[in-house]
């Protein structure tokens, strides 16, 4: 034998985030990399029992790399948006101790600990029902839970925004406003809850799925086209 191997523990956390539907839409970015919008937006968060992402994140010294599965199929984690969320949460990670399992993780250990992420949507993905909003909000929230992050929901919404713009609004229930912010670094571009989910109790939203096929134009490219070609977008941004 080559000497004692490190104990192969696994630490897990699970979270669930609902999708949201805009009543004043986010459409168009003023900064593509940081996902900063050209206007404020307001949405209503849907019931997680009907439309939500559920994500389990596991960390273990036995994992050689970060990996992710969406609806049972492995997807690449190399994209800038996933990497931004992972980086920002790891930066804020704190000490974690699980006495029952004999696990002690120092905050600096999180930099070299890899994670496996399994996410599942209970509704069609990329079909226009804001699956990325639910998914990225859930990823950030669950990573934060696993790594004992202390940030408030506003701060978490700002991190989720870097994964998918409208994800920042799925951190809260009820009616939510994404404040576009003014700062170049995006530090003030985050979501705030206007009223909680009990405010308008008899509001019912009916979603009719006419096709669960993936949409032909992604929101990202649709917005880019609008910013580049629409002479009317400037008026929308001024309102």
What are the sequence ranges of the domains in the chain? 11-238
Cα distances from 46 to residues 19, 130, 214, in angstroms, run: 6, 11, 21
Instruction: Give first-to-last CA distance, the chain, whole Å.
Output: 70
For residues 219 and 226, give the distance between their C-alpha atoms in angstroms, rounded to a whole number: 10
Q: Is the pLDDT of residue 239 over 70?
A: no
Q: Return the pLDDT at 3.
A: 47
Phi-psi region of 102 (alpha: psi -120 to 50; beta: other; left: phi over 0): left
- Separation between Cα atoms, residue 22 and residue 237, nearest integer Å: 16
pLDDT at 5 over 70: no
Average of per-residue pLDDT across 125-140: 87
User: What is the pTM for the complete model shown?
Assistant: 0.91
For residue 130, pLDDT over 90 is answered with: no
For residue range 139-175, list pLDDT tens digits in order: 999 999 999 999 999 999 999 999 999 999 999 999 9
| 11-238 carries CATH number 3.60.15.10 | no
The residues, any chain, with a CB within 8 Å of residue 117's CB and separated by 6 or more, are 55, 56, 57, 58, 66, 67, 68, 69, 77, 139
């Amino acid at each position: 034998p080559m000497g004692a191997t490190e104990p192969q523990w696994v630490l897990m956390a699970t979270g669930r985030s609902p999708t949201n539907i805009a009543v004043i839409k986010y459409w168009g970015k003023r900064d593509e990399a940081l996902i900063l919008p050209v206007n404020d937006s307001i949405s209503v968060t849907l019931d997680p029992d009907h439309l939500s992402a559920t994500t389990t994140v596991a960390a273990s010294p036995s994992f050689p790399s970060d990996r992710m599965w969406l609806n049972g199929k492995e997807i690449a984690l190399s994209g800038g948006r996933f990497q931004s969320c992972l980086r920002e949460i790891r930066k804020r990670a704190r000490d974690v101790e699980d006495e029952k399992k004999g696990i002690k993780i120092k905050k600096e250990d999180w930099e070299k600990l890899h994670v496996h992420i399994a996410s599942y949507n209970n509704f069609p993905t990329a079909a226009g029902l804001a699956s990325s909003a639910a998914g990225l909000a859930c990823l950030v929230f669950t990573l934060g839970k696993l790594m004992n992050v202390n940030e408030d929901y506003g701060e978490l919404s700002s991190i989720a925004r870097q994964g998918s713009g409208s994800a920042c609004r799925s951190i809260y229930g009820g009616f939510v406003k994404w404040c576009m912010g003014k700062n170049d670094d995006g530090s003030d571009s985050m979501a705030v809850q206007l009223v909680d989910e009990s405010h308008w109790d008899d509001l019912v939203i009916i979603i009719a799925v006419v096709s669960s096929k993936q949409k032909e134009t992604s929101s990202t490219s649709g917005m880019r086209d609008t910013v580049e070609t629409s002479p009317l977008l400037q008026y929308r941004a001024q309102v």
